[in-house]
């Protein structure tokens, strides 16, 4: 499934199906965001999608990225508990609702090349890069392009057109 198929907007499905759709979006972010070469230690390091907090995806995220790669970088999914692990990931899904905890995680990820993603309320307003939100029973995205640029991440105009940009 690609963005043209979901068109950046989808009817809000039941909770499990909602995270199945969000997993596909996260996978597609790998195609519409460019990381700088220094985000990888070697030419074949894995591209890591990490989840901090309780994992709402179950196996959906692994299914979305199974067998996929970004250039020579095979995509891997891992769950992390401690902020020091964020240094070794490229996309960080933050499953936390407490704004103070979210801010602490974002502060830890600052000055790295990590794309931060969450469905927490006002995520892009508090310094996150891509926030999922619901509007009229549809899943939408809000992108904080300034924070992404500061992390040396280049977000495609195709993705920016599908989102509310801050």
Cβ contacts of 87-91, under 8 Å, gap ≥ 24: 87/112, 88/48, 88/50, 89/48, 89/49, 89/50, 89/114, 90/30, 90/35, 90/39, 90/47, 90/48, 90/49, 90/114, 90/115, 91/26, 91/29, 91/30, 91/48, 91/49, 91/50, 91/115, 91/117
What pLDDT score does 44 carry?
A: 87
Largest CA distance in the chain: 44
Distance of CA 150 to the CA centre of its chain: 16
pLDDT above 70 for 6 = no
What pLDDT score does 88 carry?
A: 83
pTM value is 0.88
The domains located in the chain, with CATH, are 3-165 (3.40.50.2300)
Spatial separation of the C-alpha atoms in residues 90 and 101, rounded to whole Å: 20
Q: Percent of the chain at pLDDT above 90?
A: 77
pLDDT digits 0-9 by tens, 60-113: 999 999 999 998 999 999 999 877 755 589 999 999 999 999 999 999 999 899
Both tokens of 150, joined, read: 């500061």
pLDDT above 50 for 46 = yes
């Amino acid at each position: 499934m690609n963005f043209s198929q979901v068109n950046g907007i989808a009817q809000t499905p039941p909770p499990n199906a909602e995270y199945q759709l969000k997993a596909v979006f996260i996978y597609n972010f790998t195609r519409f965001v460019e990381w700088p070469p220094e985000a990888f230690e070697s030419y074949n390091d894995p591209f890591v999608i990490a989840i901090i907090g309780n994992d709402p995806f179950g196996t959906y995220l692994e299914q979305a990225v199974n067998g996929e790669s970004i250039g020579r970088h095979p995509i891997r999914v891992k769950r992390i508990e401690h902020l020091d692990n964020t240094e070794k990931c490229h996309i960080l899904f933050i499953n936390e609702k407490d704004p103070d905890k979210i801010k602490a995680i974002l502060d830890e990820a600052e000055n790295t090349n990590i794309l931060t993603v969450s469905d927490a309320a006002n995520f892009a307003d508090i310094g996150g890069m891509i926030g999922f939100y619901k509007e009229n029973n549809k899943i939408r995205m809000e992108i904080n392009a300034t924070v992404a640029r500061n992390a040396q991440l280049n977000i495609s105009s195709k993705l920016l057109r599908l989102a509310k940009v801050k």
